[in-house]
Structure 1
Amino acid sequence: MLIRTFEHEPFEGPANIEAWAAKRGHTMVRTFLHAGDALPQTPDYDMLVVMGGGMSVHDELQFPWMREEKECLKQAVARGRSVLGVCLGAQMLSEALGGCVCQGRHREIGWHPVRLTPWAATNPAFAGLPRQFMGFHWHGETFSIPRGANLLAESDACAHQAFAVGAKLVGVQFHFETTMESMEQFLSAAGDDLAPGDYVQTAAQMREGAARHMAALEGMLFRLLDNMAREI
């Protein structure tokens, strides 16, 4: 299987998604939009993974490549490709499906509980995931649930944590892909985001949480991706 990533920041790479692809024998082609990489003219992949970023989906004037990226995303959906959107990527997928993106009630940064909704029990992509787990978060905006999709997860700070259309189009607001290294890259590159808030942890709290929750998060990511791969 060929997996292509769309990446928006040097510090928001595929992390454990790349590790999963390597262990399963899949090929990953990474597209560094922040470095000026060209987007594919047609969907040349089996699965598209759209990563996060510190920008908003509304920042097309500042990041002109976002317009072409959004068209590529719509083309992937129209041609029946499997798509996983993470954080900003989930927001872009929601928008591509007719949803909208706005400022959330709270900034949510660090390790916070995620709860699956009853819809998750019927979605093949989320089969076998626990009903509640600790997710790693780093966001201030949120997506609406587009028509035809189901809300699959929520948290106290953010009512919309995951959605899916079947098992081929999945958006997750939190970071399933996080590793110790990728978390440290967040802290180094985006530490200014850690202004105090009800759902904003300190760097020390995040490191403590990582020691307790990272291994379980990896297992859940691998299960999600295995589930999605079965549908391709």
Structure 2
Amino acid sequence: MKVHFIVHESFEAPGAYETWVNARGHEASYSRVYANQALPTDASHFDLLVVLGGPQDPATTVEQCPHFDAAAECRLIRQAITAGKAVVGVCLGSQLIGEALGASFDHSPEKEIGKFPIRLTHEGKTNDKVSHFGETLHVGHWHNDMPGLTADAKVLATSEGCPRQIVEYTPLVYGFQCHMEFTSEVIERLIAACEAELATLSDRRFVQQPATLRANDWDQMNQKLYVFLDNLAEELWATRTAQA
């Protein structure tokens, strides 16, 4: 399987997604847009597109952030969906999926940074790709916003601070507002980039400070993500076999 990552910032690393790619023997490619690397010309270059997070939102203009072109990323996401590819969006990436499908992003009721539980909805508990998460699962968060919902979208998980944590847009297209890719290395990058901001948020109930962030164990969450990705890959191959 060919997996392409869109990476918006050096501190928004693929983390456990990249670990899964390497462990399964898949092939990874990257558009590190912060380093001015181009997006793929079309969706024929990959089987799975993973669009990562960033401090931007879908309304951020090229004038505000020259290396981030939301419209171009939305075009590629639409091409991938139309071509029957699998697409996973993380945080900003999840919001871009919604935008690509005509559903505008929203601000989350609460800012969430750290490790907090998500709860599966009825749709989530009966979804064969995420039901193994269990009724609740402690996962990573680092966000202000949340993805928009299309008419057919299914909210699979919520949290106390955000009602749209995992969204299924189609059986091959998923938005994760939460960060199940976090590892200790990724957290260190984020702390280095955002430590000054974190200090101003000490009164927020869903914002953890650096010492707590560093103490969190991300392994169980990562293992659950790997199973989700295995399930998604099986869905992709089954769909292609049925179409052959």
Please state which band the TM-score falls in when normalised by the shorter chain: over 0.9
Q: 1:221 aligns with which of 222, 225, 229?
A: 225
Provide the C-alpha distance between the structure 2 equivalents of 1:99 and 1:105, rounded to a whole number of angstroms.
Answer: 18
Q: Is the 8 A contact 1:98 1:147 kept in 2?
A: no
Amino acid at match of 1:168: L
Deviation at 1:104, TM superposition (A): 1.8
Cα deviation 1:135-194 (Å, max 9, x = unaligned): 110001122322211000000000110100343100010101111100111111122332
Q: Counterpart in 1 of 2:48?
A: 47
Paired residue for 1:63? 65
- Give the letter aligned to residue 186 of structure 1: L
- Counterparts of 2:98 and 2:197, CA distance in 1: 24
Moved over 4 A (4+): none
**C-alpha separation between the residues in 2 aligned to 1:111 and 1:69?**
28
Q: Which runs of 5+ in 1 are unaligned?
A: none
Partner of 1:120: 124
Give the secondary structure class of the aligned counterpart of 1:221: helix
**DSSP 3-state at the match of 2:18:** helix
> Identity percentage over the alignment?
33
Name the structure 2 match of 1:198: 205
Superposed, which structure 2 residues align to 1:24-35 within 5 Å? 24-35=24-35
Offset, 1:122: 2.6
Partner Cα distance (2:170, 2:186) in 1: 29
Q: What pairs up with 1:32-181 in 2 under 5 angstroms?
A: 32-43=32-43, 44-61=45-62, 62-63=64-65, 65-181=69-185
* Structure 1 contact 124–167 (Cα < 8 Å) conserved: no
Residues 193 and 139 of structure 1, relative CA distance in 2, 3 Å threshold: farther
Q: Find the residue that maps to 1:144 and give its secondary structure.
A: coil
Task: State how far apart, in whole Å, the 2-side matches of 1:133 and 1:227 are.
Answer: 18
- The AA in structure 2 aligned to 1:63 is C
Aligned length: 229
1:19-62 residue CA offsets vs partner (Å, 9 max, x unmatched): 11111110010110111111111111000000000111100232
- Aligned CA-pair RMSD: 1.3
Could you tell me whether the CA contact under 8 Å between 2:73 and 2:96 is conserved in 1?
no
TM-score normalised by structure 1 residue count: 0.94
2: CA distance between counterparts of 1:125 and 1:110? 24
AA in 1 matched with 2:36: G
Is 1:51–1:88's contact at 8 Å kept on the other side of the alignment? yes
Gaps of 5+ in 2: 237-244
- 1:230 equivalent to 2:234? Answer yes
d(CA) in 1 for partners of 2:171, 2:26: 19
Cα distance in structure 2, aligned partners of 1:123 and 1:19: 24
